[in-house]
Amino acid sequence: MNDPEISIIICTRNRADRLRATLTALRAAISASPAPCELVVVDNGSADGTGRLLQRARSEDPHLFALACSEPGKSRSLNLALAAARGRVLLFTDDDVIPPADWIERMCEPIFTGTADAVAGGIRLAPSLHRPWLTAAQRSWLASTEDLPKNIDHPMIGANMAIGRHVLQRVPGFDPEVGPGALGHAEDTLFWLQVREAGFRIATRLDIETVHHLGPERLSRKAFMRQARKRGEFAAYVEWHWEHFRRRWPRLAFLRAAWQLAFLRVRHFPTWIAAPTMPAWELEPMEKYHARRCYLQELRRPANYEHHGLVRRDTCRLADTARAEPPAASSSLPAPDRTVSTAVREVQSERRVEC
């Protein structure tokens, strides 16, 4: 197989049924791509047969390479995939997404032609998720861009985004404290903020849509409550660690957010009780409540970044220490993390043999 120009990256955990459909759609998209592709799938500790599915898929598809990341966290899996991928363009999607046949070519074209360094694509909810009561605000919380004008700037979303490999020279990876398995949300949003801060050109192509096949349980009130908590945790993390925003009266801000949420619930009590899910008016107040609550926890910690930094401070310190004090050959060092270092070396060695 020729060296790939494009690496398609997917991280998965316990979604074997949906992943199967995604892999089938990606095979068709890879066949239609004029540029050679590879598909890098990282299994983040699945226990539902995902490993067996990937073994079978790998035996049938020479473009697919499967890795295992035992450490919990989507960001860790993404960073493992970044280290193993070989393409000039890195194209991201999720394990419950169906892309169109021309998806690869259209998403990568702005990067190959030099008009952009990254591309933010669009996402449409699967028809099975349509409900008459679902509002534009609720759809946006499910990562849908279908209600937005196609020509506006929009954050990159991991279900449909692409970057040139050169972007990693400035923004080397995803924050392991953010995303599913950690804070649970928006590892792609922080990455987009850093890519934008680094001055890279981001093309918004919401007209290039993938279809997101979320489970119907994501429409429940419980799921939206969980989403509000995750969004609030992420907002507090970015506010404290990345933006270095310092509230003068943080406890008062939390109490105000709690009072506003309670007031709205009393005001809308009859419709609130009868609603089939979390109503649209409750989304932002609930997120704000959790953001103010989590801010009180984050302010006890030292900031992980310089103001609008592109690399975590602990990563910089580790790199500086490694450069300043190279280990002696006879020194006793802890075994390297197999899921990151050894696995990458193994797959790269294996690829050299296969290609």
Q: What is the pLDDT of residues 14-66, one digit of tens each?
A: 999 999 999 999 999 999 999 999 999 999 999 989 999 999 999 989 899 99
Give the closest residue to 89 by CA, choosing from 33, 32, 44: 33
Q: What is the pLDDT of residues 261-298, one digit of tens each?
A: 999 999 999 999 999 999 999 999 999 999 999 999 99
**Please, which residues bridge with residue 119 across strands?**
162, 203
pLDDT for position 317: 55
The token pair at 165 is 């490999």
Q: What is the pLDDT of residues 157-169, one digit of tens each?
A: 999 999 999 999 9
The answer to whether the CB of 339 falls within 8 A of the CB of 68 is yes
* pTM for this prediction: 0.88
All structural domains of the chain: 6-218 (3.90.550.10), 220-298 (no CATH)
pLDDT for position 280: 96
User: Could you identify the residue written with the tokens 């050299």?
Assistant: 352
Q: How far apart are CA 261 and CA 290, in angstroms?
A: 11
71-106 core/surface letters (b: 16 or more CB in 10 A; e: else): eebbbbbbbbbbbbbbbbbbbbbbbbbbbeeebbbb
Check residues 302 and 184 and name the one with the higher pLDDT: 302
For residue 291, give every residue at least 6 positions away whose Cβ sits within 8 Å of its Cβ, in sequence order, or none.
231, 232, 233, 235, 236, 239, 257
The answer to whether the CB of 101 falls within 8 A of the CB of 32 is yes
User: Could you identify the residue written with the tokens 């006793």?
Assistant: 332
The token pair at 192 is 């987009």
Q: How confident is the model at residue 70 (pLDDT cuts 50, 70, 90)?
A: confident
Give the closest residue to 43 by CA, choosing from 11, 91, 79: 11
- What does residue 110 show for φ and ψ, rounded to 5 degrees? -60, -30
The answer to whether the CB of 152 falls within 8 A of the CB of 239 is no
The token pair at 178 is 């953010």
Which amino acid belongs to residue 243? E
Whether the pLDDT of residue 327 is over 90: the answer is no
Q: How far apart are CA 207 and CA 163, in angstroms?
A: 17
